[in-house]
Amino acid sequence: MHGGPTTAVVRGPAGESVVLLSGELPQVLTEDAMTELLDLAAAILDADELGLFHTCLRTLRTDGLRAGRRIEVDGAVLTVYEG
């Protein structure tokens, strides 16, 4: 999706889910940005993965979105990279 904050949601070489973002990391993860991320993620994640992703996003929204941030929820790990 060009023009939005999210470029793609894909599976990595080991089968892990990867969300690719374009541009700078936002200072605040807004409700609209979360909805857009969840809508895109729904195209590739199963229901359990999507629930975990949503929980991770809520945690990021509360604790801040920054490079190097790592969240673990029920064994699922979400890491924020910038590069």
Of the pLDDT bands very low, low, confident and very high (cuts 50, 70, 90), residue 3 is very low
Contact assessment for residue 56 and residue 37, using Cβ atoms and an 8 Å cutoff = no
pLDDT at residue 6, rounded to an integer:
55
pLDDT at residue 76, rounded to an integer:
75
Q: Is the pTM of this model over 0.75?
A: no
**Checking DSSP bridges between strand 17-21 and strand 70-73, what pairing results, if any?**
unpaired
pLDDT at residue 83, rounded to an integer:
62
Contact assessment for residue 79 and residue 70, using Cβ atoms and an 8 Å cutoff = yes
Give the span between the Cα atoms of 54 and 41, in whole angstroms. 10
pLDDT at 49 over 80: yes
pLDDT at 50 over 60: yes
